[in-house]
Amino acid sequence: MELNTIEKSSGAPISARTNDSALEEIAFATGETELGTVLIARSGVGVCSIIMGSDGDELSNDLAERFPESRLVRDNAKLADDLHQVQRFIETPAVGLDLAFDVRGTPFQRRVWTVLLGVPAGSTITYAALASRIGERDAVRAVARACAANAIALGIPCHRVIRSDGTLSGYRWGVERKRALLAREGT
């Protein structure tokens, strides 16, 4: 397994992996927010997933699909602070998210996500501009797929990516959630 550390704009560490560890334990918890249910999951390295939806069972199934060889353990007590921080971020994005992340993806995805970490709250970037920033001007669709593959919603702010014409497009957790997040951030 390849493990690299890069810095988020907050200075908190972010570890990036190219593949999952078999039989690893991942703790998770769910909670309610103004945007629906949120699930947060943490490996021994850091937060490896923040996903949103309407149903906790669907989110648990999504997590199981993302980490099929890991042992998933519900642990609300262990993740209470992490969950509170995510809930607070949704209510007041200006407070930021200061969590250590365990990012898993291909080298291309990690390049996209690294650029996204530098897009501040209250700002947006187009898919085309994002492709240009990673030096892959013709990879706009691949950039969109990398955004869709992002397992750490809010932490890696793929909701800040918009179309070149300024309109909102797909968001893995629903365009209405994307619209609400951007409105809260003041864009």
Count other C-beta atoms under 10 Å from residue 6's C-beta.
Answer: 14
Does the active-site annotation cover 147? no
In sequence order, the β-bridge partners of residue 168 are none
Long-range contacts, 78-82 (Cβ 8 Å, 24+): 78/27, 78/29, 78/42, 79/27, 79/28, 79/29, 79/40, 79/41, 79/42, 80/29, 82/29, 82/40, 82/42, 82/47
Catalytic residue among 103, 151, 158, 162: 158
CB 105 within 8 A of CB 15: no
Task: Just list the catalytic residues.
Answer: 158
